[in-house]
Amino acid sequence: MSQPGEPVPASEPRPRMSKAQAVYVALSAAAIAFALSFAWPAYAPTSVFWYYPLERRWALEVKPSGLAMDWYGRCLLSTLIAVVAFAVVHLVARRLRPLTRRGHGLWAAWMVTAVLLAMALYASQLAMRNPVPEPLPSWYVPK
Amino acid sequence: MTDIAFQSQARLLVLLHAAAAIVLVGSTTHHFIVAFGYARRRYKVKLGRIYAAIVLAAYPATFLLGALAYPTYRYHVRALYFDRHAVWASNLFDIKENFAALGLPLVVGIFVLSRIMKPKEDRSMLVGYVAMATLLVAIVWFNVVSGVLITMERGV
């Protein structure tokens, strides 16, 4: 074994990130990817799956043509992106050097920032929204 | 009348959604206290793992039950009533549903980390774990309080 400060001999394997650390980094990256991809359609027009509850149909589009919900589509999109981010980052992280204490803190800080940014974006856009009500159908009886 | 998916079961779904949310708010809060305890060098690891497992079961259950009742809410409650008479409730619901989605990766992260992390030895990994637990407990409490307020205004 080489002593601290001494150059590592070429034959000695370079220390790699432990399995637990790689999972920690990959989970943080997945949470960041989920938060950012979930917030993205609220920031820039993006095609997502919209569900039309009255017609019971799905459509991949940027803007709906009637009463529709994009929440399912955004959840699906973000889940897929988070799974891919987890897999890629886990694969890469296993080849990197062990994570320092500062590295752990940085990943946590990025994760918290991404989630809070997404929450703030939706809260700010929705808090003051003025939705347009649907026309009342003929069978509607007010409760 | 309308033919919306799960419309006839919507009230039962919301009732089960509320029941699952009761389990969720309890387990998330207890888990947060245990995780915060790790930071103060109080290690109740087994308890932390149990609560993380309960959260992993309760969060997707609450999420799924809410998602199934959502189309009925979207038309009969939001489109026909909230958007006309209680805009604050309509907006609060949409904020709540988006926050709930953002909690999904945190639930998985907490469960996995609770299994692989050794709080006594992996002190540096604790920061991410406690951050996830804190964000999740905030989201769950916000959503439970919002859900009660919205349902008090009008239910499915």
pLDDT in tens, B60-100: 999 999 999 999 999 999 999 999 999 999 999 999 999 99
A67 and B91 in contact by Cβ < 8 A?
A: no
pLDDT > 90: percent of chain A: 86
**pLDDT grade for A6, boundaries at 50, 70 and 90:** low
Q: In the Cβ-directed half-sphere of B94, how many Cα atoms lie within 13 Å? A: 26
- Write out chain A residues lying below 8 Å of B94, CB-based: 122, 126, 129
Contact B74, A69 (CB under 8 A): yes
Q: Which residues of A touch B97 (CB under 8 A)?
A: 71
A68 closest CA partner among A78, A82, A83, A58: A58
Residues of A in contact with B35 (CB under 8 A): none
When the pLDDT of each residue in chain B is averaged and rounded to a whole number, the result is 97
Q: SS3 breakdown of chain B: % helix, strand, coil, rounded to 5?
A: 85, 0, 15
pTM of this structure: 0.94
Probe site for chain A from B94, B120, B121, B143 (most A CB atoms < 10 A): B94
- The pLDDT value given to residue B151: 97
What does the pLDDT read at residue B2?
83
Check if the interface score ipTM surpasses 0.90.
Answer: yes
What confidence score (pLDDT) does residue A1 get? 47
Nearest CA in chain A to B123: A101
Enumerate residues 6+ apart whose C-beta is below 8 A from B72: A53, B4, B5, B6, B7, B10, B156
Quick one: closest CA in A to B153, which residue? Answer: A143
The alpha-carbon gap from A11 to the nearest alpha carbon of chain B, in Å, equals 29
